[in-house]
A = this chain, B = another copy of it.
Amino acid sequence: MKPRRALGLVKRRGLARRALIELYLAGLDGRGLLLDELSSSLGLDEATCKALVAGLVEEGLVEHRGDVFVLGQKGRESIRVVMTGGVFDILHVGHLATLEAAKGLGDVLVVVVARDETVKRLKGREPLNREEDRLKLVSALKPVDKAILGDPEDFLKVVELIGPDVIALGYDQKHDEKELRRVLAERGLRADIVRLNIHVPGVKSSKILARLLREI
């Protein structure tokens, strides 16, 4: 059976996009994917996956390098990567609503979780939950495709790694959008900056804690 015929059977656009996303995410870890890794993450048998990838290589979206497949420049340009960040110390529905809105701005959402030392520097106290625990919990949320720890010295390092098309700022992130655009430009980075106006009354971590303290 010819590749084109086999692909007709599956929702081609949706699967192709998911394949590009998987390859993008593997690229964040600096690696490509073997055919069987890709087929297992897409839930396809190897023959269907092979046909799918052959089509993507033919279109110049994916490159074959040795044993593995990697996302090509054109493939990268055909998906929209959204980046957002935060401390996520005590997870609440406000975080979730913000992450869902951020995910809605593109195809794949990468979340940068602030390092313990960054939190200490900015808030003057350690977070209640260690960075590796905050990372695990954020990674486990359905809208999040990948969560990574920030760089304690240079926050632009992760922006360079992720190469986002969109940077989504939550309502409690104090970045000045103009200033952010300027520092990005200095490093040759370009991304749309979107401020999400998700307000979920009464669920900020600090309010949850204040409520607790009133009760005790």
Contact = CB atoms under 8 A, between A and B. Distances in A.
Nearest to A7: B9
B10 A203 contact: no
Contacts of A211: 128
Interface string A187-216: 000000000000000010000110111011
- Taking residues whose C-beta sits less than 8 angstroms from the other chain, chain A's interface range is 35 or more
Given A141-B140, A216-B213, A129 B45 contact: no
A44 interface: yes
Given A96-B136, A141-B140, A9 B6 contact: yes
Interface in A130-186: 133, 136-137, 140-143
Interface of A: 6, 9-11, 14-15, 18, 39, 43-45, 47-48, 90-93, 96, 125-126, 128-129, 133, 136-137, 140-143, 203, 208-209, 211-213, 215-216
